[in-house]
Amino acid sequence: MQPDEHFDGFPFKAEEVKRYIAVKGLVSMLLTNGSFFHYEPADETAFLNWLKYHRVEDLRKNYPDEK
């Protein structure tokens, strides 16, 4: 099953999200229009998988894990 362009409860299409970072349940995103948007998904894992499926850039890939 292919994920939809929209994630239930999220007001933007995947193509409108340029990059994101997730920290303790809060996902902060830069949108293609230059705005920032913060979102607390009910199912963080499903939301992050949706972003990854749609190839939205994860900022954590560019930095080492916090210790």
**pLDDT tens for residues 41-63?**
999 999 999 999 999 999 988 65
Residue 42 and residue 57: Cα distance in Å, rounded? 21
| Per-residue pLDDT, 60 | 87
Q: What is the pLDDT of residue 1?
A: 43
pTM, full prediction = 0.84
51: burial class by Cβ within 10 Å (0-12, 13-18, 19+)? Answer: buried
- Looking at every residue in the chain, the average pLDDT score rounds to 90
